[in-house]
Amino acid sequence: MIRPAPAAKFRPGDAVRVLTTEKEGHVRTPAYVKGKRGEISHVLGTFPDPESLAYGGNGLPEKVLYRVVFRQADLWESYEGSTADALYVDVYEHWLEPAGEEG
């Protein structure tokens, strides 16, 4: 279910990069996308912060969640599949930054 996110920083089509921040404990951002460039596919809405909930917190403030599409060839160094192959990953806004125009 897509929920409203009026304060979303990014919009579909925006180029983003996943932060490389190292954080101990439970995070919902897969290590294999850290530092990688993708594109916002959908703004999914605002949800309680799972990094807070994992440790008994209340999940507030809620965080904006995005569906980000990554080219498989950008994720896996020796990827031999089609250049059109993509992977969609749900990533919270606090893990994203604008990627700019570079490849």
Name the more confident of 85 and 101.
85
What domains can be seen in the chain, in order of their start residue? Answer: 15-98 (2.30.30.50)
Segment 87-96, tens digit of pLDDT: 999 999 999 9
Q: How far apart are the first and last CA of the chain?
A: 32
Asked whether the whole model's pTM tops 0.85, one would answer yes
Q: 102: exposed, middle or buried (C-beta count within 10 Å: 0-12, 13-18, 19+)?
A: exposed
Give 78's contacts (C-beta < 8 A, 6+ positions apart): none
Name the DSSP letter for residue 83.
T
| Amino acid residing at 1 | M
Segment 25-61, tens digit of pLDDT: 667 899 999 999 999 999 999 999 988 898 899 999 9
